[in-house]
């Protein structure tokens, strides 16, 4: 069984052909990706009293939680992830032996940021969470 530790995950934004370190989102603590499909009720009088469904539109959305760092060289704060902006987004589960060029991310082409939420607590570090929705083709990783 090939299990993965979450510590190998990563996020890139904006790059056309990743990997590109200039597009890393630094300080990422976690990311989520929810993929769903509308279930369209196709029940008719001929269904024998049972509901029937067909697949409708497929969509995806997710979140990125990161540490707010205004000194970093690349994207690590909400003002660079503007609500309403569109960009390519690459979400990686792990890297092979730490080699940047062997990463195999799920690719969201044409995502839009829908929410940005800073989080400030008296006993912790400042973080932020952005929410996004997919507006294009979802490509799954092809290898580990």
| Mean pLDDT, residues 61-90 taken together | 75
β-bridge partners, 41: 53
Q: What is the pLDDT of residues 16-50, one digit of tens each?
A: 555 555 567 778 899 998 989 999 999 999 999 99
Who's near 102: CB < 8 A, 6+ residues apart?
Answer: 95, 96
Q: Which CATH number fits the domain that encloses residue 99?
A: 2.30.110.20
Between 81 and 120, the more confident residue is 120
Residue 114: domain span: 8-37+53-139
Task: Give me 83's structure tokens.
Answer: 């609500």
Give the pLDDT confidence score for residue 23 in this predicted structure. 65
Class of residue 13 by CB neighbours under 10 A (exposed 0-12, middle 13-18, buried 19+)? buried
Residue 3 belongs to a domain:
no
The model's pTM: 0.78
Residue 2 belongs to a domain:
no
Q: Is the confidence at residue 11, as pLDDT, over 90?
A: no
Work out the pLDDT band at 13, boundaries 50, 70, 90. confident
| Residue 119 main-chain phi, psi, to 5 deg | -130, 115
């Amino acid at each position: 069984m090939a299990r993965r530790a979450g510590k190998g995950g990563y996020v890139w934004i904006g790059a056309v052909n990743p990997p590109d370190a200039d597009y890393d989102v630094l300080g990422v603590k976690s990311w989520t990706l929810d993929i769903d499909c509308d279930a369209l009720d196709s029940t008719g009088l001929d269904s024998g009293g049972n509901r029937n469904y067909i697949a409708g539109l497929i969509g995806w959305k997710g979140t990125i939680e990161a540490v707010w760092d205004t000194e970093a060289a690349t994207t690590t704060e909400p003002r660079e992830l503007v609500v309403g902006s569109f960009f390519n987004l690459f979400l990686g589960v792990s890297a092979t032996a730490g080699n940047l060029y062997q990463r195999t991310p799920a690719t969201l082409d044409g995502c839009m940021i829908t929410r940005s939420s800073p989080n400030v607590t008296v006993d912790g570090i400042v973080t932020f969470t952005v929410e996004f929705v997919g507006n294009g083709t979802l490509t799954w990783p092809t290898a580990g």
